[in-house]
Each structure stands twice: as C-alpha cells, then as structure tokens.
A and B are shown apart, each in its own frame.
Chain A
C-alpha cells in the first residue's frame, strides 16, 4: 500500500510549481530593484562630482575676473587644486588659458574630466570637455578579441 495517493502527489507537484514561480519572481524583482538602486546611486555620485567641478569652475572664473596673476599658469593650477580639482594643469596660449582637472565620482571607478578655456576678453569659460571616463578595473575592456587571419602565414 503506497504511503500517499494521487491527490497528495498532485498537491506536492502544485506546491513545487508554485514555490518555483514564487522564487523566480522574487529573484527577478530583487534584480530589478538592485539595478534601480545602482542607477540611483550612480546618478547621485555623478551630480556630486559635477557639483564639485562647478565649484572649481566658479573659483577659476572668479580668479580670471579679479586676479592680477591671470598670466601665471601655476597660479591657475593652484586655484583649481585649492577648489577641489584633482591633478589640475594649465596651459597658456594665444587663445587664452586652458585649465584641465578631474573629479572622481564618489564610490565609483569613474572620473569627470573637465577642460575649460578662459579667453582674454570673455567672462565665461568655454567648456572644451566635460565628460566621464572610467579608470582602474572599470576601464579595462573585456577580452572580446577575435583572432582573424592576417595573411602573414600562408597555409
């Protein structure tokens, strides 16, 4: 005599199906939520870095408008560094002074690269670059190299 009959077998089968779908839906919803959270955190980090870059830009604009040392590249670099710009550099040329620096996004292996040009007359800087760039492990592309025959070795 079997321990259980057809109805119990059907119930167990039903429960297994139900549990599988429940686990799958929970797993999918969890993955969706983690992705949303990641997007939200990245957005906050980006605007935080962007805000820091704006502060550096404001400091440089103030320096360009009010300082007598505007023809000294080292002074531009010092202002950018003091305002929070990382690895700042300044180059002076005929078109004006080009200042470069970057701000690292908090908690990310990404930095916001900024390049500004201050002309002799213009009050506002020209934004030559205001872009994000990955560094560290995030910058290393996956190995998707497909070896193709270059014609060097003939069979």
Chain B
C-alpha cells in the first residue's frame, strides 16, 4: 500500500514537472511564433506598400495630366492632398486598409511626386519620383 502511494506521488510529481516544463517552453515558443507572425505581416505590408507606390510612380510618369493620373489610381483630393484607399489585395475602395497619398510639386523644369503609403496611420513606405516637363491641361 505504501509502495503504491509512493509510486503515485512520484508519478504526480513527474506530471507536475512535465506540465511546468511544457508551459515554460510553450510560452517561449508562442513568443517565437508571435514574432514570426509579426514579421510576416510586416513583410506582406511592405510588399503591398512598395507595389502600390511603384504603380503610383509609373502612373505619375506616364500621365498626361492630373485628371488622368487621378483616374488611373482612383485618387481623390482630401485636405489638399491626393489620397486613395486600398484593401489587403491592393484593390481600390473606400475605407481600405492601406492609404496612398501623393503630393505633387514643380521645380526646375521637372515635377516631383512625394508618394507615401500608410496602414492604420503608420507610414510603411515613401518614394520620391521625378519626371521631366509639366502636365498638360
């Protein structure tokens, strides 16, 4: 009877040790998984932001006038800046996850577009693009 009790208590101690060990290691591993997930989300966000900024840059270089540039990217004037919203797949639509803003300036016979992509208010990427000449009417 005494041997049986001793065996049960040993098993109980081992079980407790296993649970504690598992909890500690699982905590560390969950942290690693969370970090990997965060990196993955950041990486996807950066790629979409670069892709959107590049599309805007090429549209800026190719457009003949501002109306054409805005029509291609779905840009709307908001608080003095040109803005457009995009969803996770980069499709234009109001209230999207990503926000593209473009600020166009003219200097020394060239035009410069300051392109920025935001997600939830946080700036993901910015790109300055220049093109020779000026837009037509």
Binding site for B on A (CB under 8 A): 4-5, 7-8, 10-12, 14-15, 18-19, 21-23, 25-26, 28-30, 32-33, 35-37, 39-40, 43-44, 47-48, 50-51, 54-55, 57-59, 61-62, 124
Task: Evaluate whether A19 and B132 lie within 8 angstroms (CB atoms) in the complex, with A26-B36, A39-B47, A43-B54 already known.
Answer: no
> How far, in Å, is A1 (CB) from chain B's closest CB?
9
Contact of A55 among B19, B28, B47, B130 (CB under 8 A): B130
A-B contact pairs, 19 of them (CB 8 A): A11-B18, A15-B22, A18-B25, A19-B25, A19-B28, A25-B36, A29-B37, A29-B43, A30-B36, A32-B40, A33-B42, A36-B47, A43-B127, A51-B129, A54-B132, A55-B130, A58-B109, A58-B110, A58-B133
A47 lies within 8 A of B127 (CB): yes
Chain B at the A interface: SS class: helix
Complex interface: chain B residues within 8 A of A11 (CB): 18-19, 21-22
**Stretch with Cβ within 8 A of A (4 or more), from B9-17, B67-75, B81-89, B93-101:** B9-17
Most chain A beta-carbon contacts within 10 A, residue among B32, B36, B57: B36
Complex Cα distance, B45 from A36, in Å, reads 9
Contact of B109 among A7, A23, A40, A61 (CB under 8 A): A61
| Those of B44-58 within 8 Å (CB) of chain A | 44, 46-47, 49-50, 53-54, 57
Complex interface: chain B residues within 8 A of A15 (CB): 21-22, 25-26, 29
B131 contacts the other chain (Cβ, under 8 Å)?
Answer: yes
Most chain A beta-carbon contacts within 10 A, residue among B11, B39, B46: B39
| Those of B93-137 within 8 Å (CB) of chain A | 108-110, 112, 125, 127-133
Complex Cα distance, B41 from A32, in Å, reads 10
> How far, in Å, is A19 (CB) from chain B's closest CB?
6
Complex Cα distance, B127 from A25, in Å, reads 31
B35 contacts the other chain (Cβ, under 8 Å)?
Answer: yes
Binding site for A on B (CB under 8 A): 11, 14-15, 17-19, 21-22, 25-26, 28-29, 32-33, 35-37, 39-40, 42-44, 46-47, 49-50, 53-54, 57, 108-110, 112, 125, 127-133
> How far, in Å, is B9 (CB) from chain A's closest CB?
13
Complex interface: chain A residues within 8 A of B32 (CB): 19, 22-23, 25-26
B39 lies within 8 A of A18 (CB): no
Contact of B17 among A8, A14, A37 (CB under 8 A): A8
A43 lies within 8 A of B53 (CB): yes
A22 lies within 8 A of B22 (CB): no
Complex Cα distance, B20 from A12, in Å, reads 12
Contact of A33 among B26, B43, B49 (CB under 8 A): B43
Complex interface: chain A residues within 8 A of B42 (CB): 33, 36
B40 lies within 8 A of A14 (CB): no
